[in-house]
C-alpha cells in the first residue's frame, strides 16, 4: 500500500495539534539493532523460522536461544499456539532491560497471530506471557522489521504454487542485517 504526503485528509490537523504530540524525550537516541537468522525448528507438527534481534555488541547468548526454544516447544505442546498451516516464525529480542519472545503463526490465509513473552534480562527469570489488555503491546520498532520481512515471505508463498519447493523457498527466505 502506497502512502501519499499530499493526502487532503491530513489538512484538517493543525500545526498546533501536531506541536502537542510526539514528545519523545530529547535524551532518547534511536539506534540500529542486528537481525540474525537462526536455525529453523520443527516442533509439534509446525516448522518455525527463527530470528534474533539484539545490539551488535551484545548478541543473543546460546542460553537465551535454548531457553526460548524450550519455551516455544512447551507452549506448543500445551496447546497455547495454533499453527493451522504448520508455518510460523519466532523473534527473540534481547535488550538491556528485557528479553522478548514473539511467536507468530499464519491463520485464515493472511492473518498473523502472535503471542508475546517477556522476562527481565538481568535476572533471567522465566518468560511470562505479556499482559494483554484492550490496547496491548505487539512489537517494537526493531521486532517489526523481521515481522514485515515474514509478511512479505508469506505473501510470496501465497502467490506461489505452494508446493514443497515453494515451502523450501519460504523457509530459506530470512532477514539478516541492521534494522
Domain ranges of the chain: 31-178
- Can you point out the beta strands (E) in 20-171? 34-43, 46-54, 87-94, 98-107, 111-120, 128-129
pLDDT tens-digit series, residues 103-131? 999 988 899 999 999 999 999 899 999 88
pLDDT tens-digit series, residues 119-176? 999 998 999 998 877 777 788 899 999 999 999 999 999 999 999 999 999 999 999 9
| pTM, rounded to two decimals | 0.88
Nearest Cα residue to 103 out of 60, 135, 35, 150: 150
Amino acid at each position: 500500500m502506497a502512502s501519499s504526503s499530499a493526502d487532503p485528509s491530513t489538512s484538517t490537523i493543525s500545526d498546533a495539534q501536531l506541536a502537542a504530540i510526539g514528545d519523545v524525550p530529547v535524551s532518547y537516541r534511536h539506534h540500529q539493532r542486528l537481525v540474525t537468522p537462526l536455525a529453523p525448528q520443527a516442533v509439534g507438527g509446525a516448522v518455525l523460522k527463527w530470528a534474533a534481534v539484539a545490539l551488535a555488541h551484545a548478541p543473543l547468548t546460546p542460553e537465551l536461544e535454548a531457553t526460548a526454544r524450550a519455551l516455544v516447544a512447551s507452549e506448543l505442546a500445551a496447546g497455547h499456539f495454533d499453527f493451522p498451516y504448520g508455518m510460523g516464525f519466532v523473534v527473540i529480542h534481547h535488550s538491556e532491560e528485557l528479553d522478548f519472545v514473539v511467536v507468530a503463526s499464519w491463520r485464515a490465509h493472511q492473518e498473523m497471530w502472535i503471542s508475546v513473552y517477556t522476562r527481565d534480562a538481568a535476572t533471567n527469570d522465566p518468560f511470562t506471557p505479556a499482559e494483554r489488555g484492550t490496547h496491548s503491546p505487539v512489537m517494537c520498532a526493531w521486532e517489526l522489521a523481521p515481522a514485515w520481512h515474514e509478511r512479505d515471505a508469506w505473501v510470496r508463498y501465497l502467490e506461489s504454487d505452494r508446493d514443497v519447493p515453494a515451502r523450501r523457498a519460504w523457509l530459506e527466505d530470512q532477514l539478516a542485517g541492521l534494522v
